Structure formats: C-alpha cells, structure tokens
A and B are shown apart, each in its own frame.
Chain A
C-alpha cells in the first residue's frame, strides 16, 4: 500500500471518531489531514494552540495574512465564527478540558497509554511545544500514525523507551493496520484494516493485544464496516 494511501486510510478512520460540534486540535502532519475527511453532517471547531478557534482552509497563494498561521507555522485562515486569544487562554482551553479531542502522531505508544512523540534521544532536539499540555488536557487523545516505523519495527510497544510526552493519557490508536483502544487492563484490538489480517497486526505490534472474541470489524476506504 502506498504511503499516501496509508495516511488517507488513517485520516478517514480518525475522522469517524469526531462528533458534530466537538472542539478538536489536530497535530502537525498526518493528523492535519483528518479535517479533509469528516463524515457528512459532522462539523467540528478546530483549535490552534497559537491562539485561535475556527481554523479555516489554507489561504490561496497571495492571500496569506501575515498575522495568521497554524501551530505548524503554515499560513492559515480563520472562519467567520472564529475567535482569537492569548497563549494563556489557549492553554486554559487545552488544560482545562475544553478540547474534546486531540489527534497527534507518535514515535512510540505503549500498552499503558504512555506516549512518546517529542524527542528522539541522540537526535536533534526540538522541544515539546504544546504537545504535553494537549495530551494531558484534552478529553480524548487519539494517536494517528502508521503502524510501524520505516524500517518495519513496531511503534506500539510494551513500554516506551523514548522520553514521554505524557503518562497514561492515550485513549485510542488508529493506524493503517488497526484501531486499538487503550484500557486500564491493556490494548484492545477493535478493528483491522481492509486487506490486513489479525496475525499481521500481532506480528507488527510489540505490545500484547487483547483480541475480540467474535468477528472483527474491518475499516478501509469507506471507514468501518462489518466483515
């Protein structure tokens, strides 16, 4: 499966988790794609941690506003119902539980729901930005990523080895291969991707997965459906 298709599959599936009217913060990269695949009738309010609600579509070339970027530094637009605020308010929205869902990528996520996504030891240091606040403060944390690293090694591990972003905050992991829920007693395999087998998911996952007793739903281009 081509990289782009994998990413679209993940974005489509994540989009189905979002409910009408939710306040959502989408991380940089794959999570940003989620906004393009919202189901019909679902409208969400996007939060940008640099200080506004109501992120609109990317402005056309030449129509950028010097005072409007998204949290990744790209030119942004603001919707008619949007509003701007300072960073303390922005993080009050985040930490105070006023963001319903945040969608972020991961370097590693483990079976306790620990997340590492801000620093690779020995590599260039960038800083955590707003990630620690988002993962700690949002009501629901969805990890959207490819199931394995480029070298095929698992990203869903027994225990994170890289510096954590937050402890035990992840609720749901959505990859090109599987949808996995994090509960206090472990990781529950909920769905598998179209053309993927349960065995493949297990072999690409370092953490122990709790399997469903009956048939397992599959998801793909159309999102989730019963097999």
Chain B
C-alpha cells in the first residue's frame, strides 16, 4: 500500500550517488515537486534517467542548474544549453540513447527481461560497444535493461492504494518507470478514495507505487 507523504519526506532516503528515473517529456508529465524537493535536499553525484534533460530553471533542468548530476541517460539534451559544454568537459557523463531504446530498456528492467534486440541504431554511433545479432537476415543491437534506485513519476490521479491514472501525453515514460525502480514515488494532482477509479481504468497498478505525494496542480507547462 502506498504511503501518502510530502515531497520532502518522500525524497528523504535518496543519498549521494543514487540513480533516479524521472518521468516526463519536455517537462510534460514531469513530477516537478519531487525534483524541487531533490534540489532542496541538495544531494549530488546523482545518475538521472529521463527522456530529456528539461530546461534551465524548470523540471529536470534544475538538477543540472544546481550541479547535482554525475551521469545522465537520455535521448535529448537540446532544451538545456549547459549539457553540450558538460559533455565536452566531462563534468557530467551523458549517455545519449535513442528514445525508443531508452523506453524499452526501462520496460525490460521492469518486466524482468535480460534485454532485447532492436534494429534502431545499427550502423550509427548508438551501436558502439554493443553486440550485433542477426535474426532472420536482419541485424539488431543487443540492448540491456536499465533500472534505478528510485523512480519519480507524475500521474493525474491516484487512489489511496496507489492505483494511478495519467492524463493525455503526460503519461509518456511514467508508467514504464513505475515498474523499474526499487522505490517508486508518484506525484499526483489528486488523491481519491479507493473505489473511485474503475479497475479497468487503472494505468499503473498500485502495487508498483511506494509513496504518493500530492503535487501542485498549478505546476504545468508555462515555460
């Protein structure tokens, strides 16, 4: 059963050097309150796994603004101007992953799979250091699962058991990440009594969720 708490309480156990998955796509579906709590906690040397690295002063971008990152797995850093420089200087290790591969790596970890074969990236820099396997005359890259110590996810609605419903394209990486981390913290706009959400409408089963944080619903896209 998910524990309802504040963002500050939810991030209490996060310490230096831990890995954190953070949901969202260009800040839509990003749990901004949890990221803010992590900024306030000031924990550093983090590994972050996220679709993109956000924007200056906004969402995931704040972790870079406050130099809390050691390593990032992401598909896109173009929204935050500091990354290009950080990659060159080696200040932050940035591992660029094709978006579909990143999603599937997380899914694989959450689904107990040892990896998967994808045609994406064959013949490109994304193939470097990876095993190529040919199945029925098509070449694939062997991609490995990607899990984390903690996942920060954002949902629209939760019931008190932690069952989650997402809204529109704020869903993106959130339900996948909910399956792939040891501790899952969900920031939601609304917490409703059990029975309010029809079982058929639940998108993330509550068993995946450890902590529920009521977020600020005004946190939207206003960049």
A68 (CB) vs chain B CBs: closest residue: B168
Q: Is A29 an interface residue (CB 8 A)?
A: no
Name 19 A/B residue pairs within 8 A (Cβ), A-sorted: A51-B172, A67-B28, A67-B29, A67-B167, A69-B221, A71-B25, A84-B168, A86-B103, A86-B173, A86-B174, A87-B173, A90-B100, A95-B119, A124-B84, A125-B84, A130-B99, A133-B99, A164-B124, A168-B123
The contact of A127 among B26, B96, B222, by CB within 8 Å, is B96
Question: From DSSP, what is the main secondary structure of chain A's interface residues?
Answer: loop
Beyond A66-B28, A129-B75: 9 further Cβ-contacts under 8 Å? Answer: A50-B28, A66-B221, A67-B29, A84-B169, A84-B171, A85-B171, A130-B100, A166-B123, A166-B124
| CB-CB contacts below 8 Å: B172-206 with A | 172-176, 203
Kindly name the residue among B28, B101, B126 whose own CB sees the greatest number of chain A CB atoms within 10 A: B28
Contact B99 A129 (CB under 8 A): yes
**B106 CB, nearest partner CB in chain A, Å:** 8
| CB-CB contacts below 8 Å: B22-55 with A | 25-26, 28-29, 51-52
The contact of A94 among B100, B121, B170, B176, by CB within 8 Å, is B100
Q: Is A136 an interface residue (CB 8 A)?
A: yes
Q: Is A163 an interface residue (CB 8 A)?
A: yes
Contact B168 A91 (CB under 8 A): no
On whether A50 and B169 interact (CB within 8 A), knowing A125-B77, A137-B119, A164-B124, the answer reads yes
Contact B171 A51 (CB under 8 A): yes
Q: How far, in whole Å, are A128 and B120 apart by their CA atoms in the complex?
A: 11
Chain B residues positioned under 8 Å from A73 (CB to CB): 26, 79
The contact of B124 among A64, A75, A86, A165, by CB within 8 Å, is A165
Chain B residues positioned under 8 Å from A185 (CB to CB): none
On whether A51 and B25 interact (CB within 8 A), knowing A87-B103, A91-B99, A129-B76, the answer reads yes
Q: How far, in whole Å, are A64 and B222 apart by their CA atoms in the complex?
A: 10
**A50 CB, nearest partner CB in chain B, Å:** 4
> Which A residues form the contact surface with B (CB < 8 A)?
48-52, 64-69, 71, 73, 75-76, 78, 84-88, 90-91, 94-95, 114, 124-133, 136-137, 163-168
Contact B168 A52 (CB under 8 A): yes
Q: Is B74 an interface residue (CB 8 A)?
A: yes
Chain A residues positioned under 8 Å from B120 (CB to CB): 95, 132-133, 136-137, 166
| CB-CB contacts below 8 Å: B60-100 with A | 74-79, 81, 83-84, 87, 94, 96, 98-100
Chain B residues with a Cβ closer than 8 Å to the other chain, count: 51
Q: Is B135 an interface residue (CB 8 A)?
A: no
The contact of B122 among A48, A85, A167, by CB within 8 Å, is A167
Chain B residues positioned under 8 Å from A136 (CB to CB): 119-122
Contact A52 B169 (CB under 8 A): yes
| CB-CB contacts below 8 Å: B114-128 with A | 118-126
Q: Mask for B102-115, Cβ within 8 A of A = 1, else 0?
A: 01101100000000
**A106 CB, nearest partner CB in chain B, Å:** 14
Chain A residues positioned under 8 Å from B175 (CB to CB): 86
On whether A91 and B103 interact (CB within 8 A), knowing A85-B171, A86-B173, A128-B75, the answer reads yes
Chain B residues positioned under 8 Å from A76 (CB to CB): 169
Kindly name the residue among A48, A50, A75 whose own CB sees the greatest number of chain B CB atoms within 10 A: A50
Chain B residues positioned under 8 Å from A48 (CB to CB): 169
Q: How far, in whole Å, are A90 and B98 apart by their CA atoms in the complex?
A: 13
Q: Is B57 an interface residue (CB 8 A)?
A: no
Chain A residues positioned under 8 Å from B83 (CB to CB): 125
Contact B121 A91 (CB under 8 A): no
Chain A residues positioned under 8 Å from B106 (CB to CB): 88
**B32 CB, nearest partner CB in chain A, Å:** 11
**B31 CB, nearest partner CB in chain A, Å:** 13
Chain A residues positioned under 8 Å from B81 (CB to CB): 124
Q: How far, in whole Å, are A65 and B174 apart by their CA atoms in the complex?
A: 19
Q: How far, in whole Å, are A86 and B51 apart by their CA atoms in the complex?
A: 12
**A55 CB, nearest partner CB in chain B, Å:** 10
Chain B residues positioned under 8 Å from A126 (CB to CB): 76-78
Contact B99 A87 (CB under 8 A): yes
